[in-house]
Amino acid sequence: MRRTRIIGEQADLFPNYSYHAFVTSCEGDQVKLDAFHRNHATVELDIRDLKEGVGLSHMPSGKFNANGAWCVIATLAHNMMRWLNSIGDNQTKRITAKSFRKRFIVFAARITTRARTYILHLPEKWPYAKAWVKTLNALALLPGFT
């Protein structure tokens, strides 16, 4: 059983604490088991993210091998998004694949050339510009990236 203090509108209904029970067959003390189950919840969030954000819930074919390839590609895309989020140090809070795609992959920008160099023009008041540039600079520092 885990007890947490209630904050917000529900605090009037239950004045002090909210109780969360979990049943397990694992052995150990209560604090370690609670930490184990809370860490396991992040795995469940990743599975949900794979289904909703990357498209794992919509297999494209009735063929087993085609669906297997789809699953591998979706998992690679999910891992790549998580990796890009971590190297750019944008992990202040956990974001879903759908949010990551909207913030860092799909946005309006222009590429122009001047003096044989490419220039990327980002939107002027785009709230994620600093995080995007930070991630791009972290990628540029990797060996073999040009």
Reading the chain (146 residues) residue by residue, the pLDDT tens digits are: 777 777 776 666 656 777 778 788 888 888 888 888 877 777 888 888 888 888 888 888 889 999 999 999 988 988 888 888 888 766 556 778 888 888 888 888 899 999 999 998 888 888 888 888 888 888 888 888 76
- DSSP single-letter state for residue 91: T
User: Tokens 């209630």, residue?
Assistant: 6
Report the predicted TM-score, pTM, of the whole model to 2 decimal places: 0.64
| Amino acid residing at 65 | N
Nearest to 133 by CA among 80, 90, 74: 90
Cα distance from N-terminal residue to C-terminal residue, the chain: 52
Cα separation, 93 vs 145, whole angstroms: 27
User: Tokens 């995080």, residue?
Assistant: 131
Nearest to 84 by CA among 137, 40, 122, 125: 137
In this structure, how many other beta carbons lie within 10 angstroms of the beta carbon of residue 74?
A: 20
Q: Going by DSSP bridges, is the β-strand pair 110-114/17-20 parallel, antiparallel, or unpaired?
A: unpaired
Q: Which two tokens stand for residue 95?
A: 């974001």
